[in-house]
Amino acid sequence: MSKTKRKRRFKLPNGFGSIVFLTGNRREPWAVRKTIEGKQLYIGFFATEEEAFTFLVNYNKDPSIYAPALITFGEVYRLEMQERRPKIATVTAKNYEVAFKQCSELHNKKLATLKVADLQSTIERLSKQGIGHPSQKKVRQLFHNIYKYAIKYQLLHPTADISRFVDIDKPVKKKKKQPFNTRQLNRVKAIADNHEHPLAPWATLVIMMCYSGPRPSEFISIAKADVKLRQRYFIIRESKTEAGKNRAVPISKKTLPYFEYWMKLPGKTLITDSNGNKITYHKLLRSFDKVMKEARCKHKPHECRHTCATWLDNKNANKLAIKRILGHATQDITDGVYTHKDLRQLKKAIDLL
């Protein structure tokens, strides 16, 4: 290369970094240097000066992306989720967002400088706050994802994955799920049908879930556009299982008035807050617990699903219909398409309750 071509054409301001031409037979002779933590370091090599200049400009806009030693825990999370999000369910993505928020003390720390003690202290804080095994497990999985991504893209050395050394609390033995009995559900229904009671709308949700059997996360994601009142069914689009996605669930005649009530309210989802926004699981849980206290019951939202499954089984409903309603995998369901005959069978099963 001639001296003319080697001459640097870009005048760079002080502190911006520098571009130098390296002699010898090199495929990428243009090098970018930058002072990082008091040391002059080479941070990139390029075939042309234009490529080197573009890199340096982008580096100064966001150094962490181009300097592995500087990239933070939060920045790797955002990059990792950008790659992961299209491959996972919306519910799963939201769980990762919650887990990320639960380790806020790590967000702005450089990933390369984190120690096992830093990750472990986050878990210990959650434990002291009464946040147990299930949430801790999600946070630890988040750690695994971040370090796996960092190693994949050579932001960290393969031996630098410290997430595998993080310990979490042992799972608490779960209380056996119990279905609602008739007296309990009657007390909840009395609240739901008392239009002057402040908990009435939330009590209707308990009845609706008991008579349809969705998972709580599925229930709060139902879109109004997917509720067919005349045909008495709704479609669940979002589910944590493939068998649960895009399934039709019949609406019991006993709960049809409750569905009609929620359909009249503003918002795109069936269940909304006072502003017409989709409610979170935590909002559902808080409201559910208030209804349980008022009705003198001790149940959790998922036990509504257990109640529906138990009732259907006790009524000797068609086994395939039960699986379809609950979104359980079955070899009999191959294309996910529901015919009028299918829907009649599902409504027949749910009307046994």
How far apart, in whole angstroms, are the C-alpha atoms of residue 54 and residue 73?
25
Q: Which helix (H) or strand (E) holds 136?
A: helix 133-152
Token pair 């290369």 in the structure block, residue:
1
Which of 22-36, 165-179, 330-344 is predicted with the least confidence, judged by mean pLDDT? 330-344
**How much is the pLDDT for 297?**
95
Contact 305, 230 (CB under 8 A): no
Q: What is the mean pLDDT of residues 238-245?
A: 84
Strand partners, 19: 32
Task: Tell me which of 14 and 235 has the higher pLDDT.
Answer: 235
Residue 170, number of CB atoms within 10 A of its CB: 8
In the chain, the percentage of residues whose pLDDT exceeds 90 is: 52
Burial of 171 (0-12, 13-18, 19+ CB in 10 A): exposed
Tokens for 308, please give them: 């529906």
SS3 344: helix
Contact 320, 329 (CB under 8 A): no
3-state helix, strand, coil in the chain (%, to 5): 50, 10, 40
**How much is the pLDDT for 335?**
47
Domains of the chain: 3-66 (no CATH), 73-165 (1.10.150.130), 182-350 (1.10.443.10)
In the chain, the percentage of residues whose pLDDT exceeds 70 is: 91
How is residue 247 annotated by DSSP? E
Statement: residue 137 has pLDDT above 50: yes
Statement: residue 333 has pLDDT above 50: no
Q: How far apart are the first and last CA of the chain?
A: 85
Statement: residue 85 has pLDDT above 80: yes
- The pLDDT tens digits for 151-200 are 887 788 889 999 999 999 998 877 788 999 999 999 999 999 999 999 99
Tokens for 23, please give them: 């002699």
Q: What is the mean pLDDT of residues 202-216?
A: 95
**How much is the pLDDT for 106?**
96
Tokens for 47, please give them: 């075939």
Statement: residue 8 has pLDDT above 60: no
How far apart, in whole angstroms, are the C-alpha atoms of residue 27 and residue 44?
13
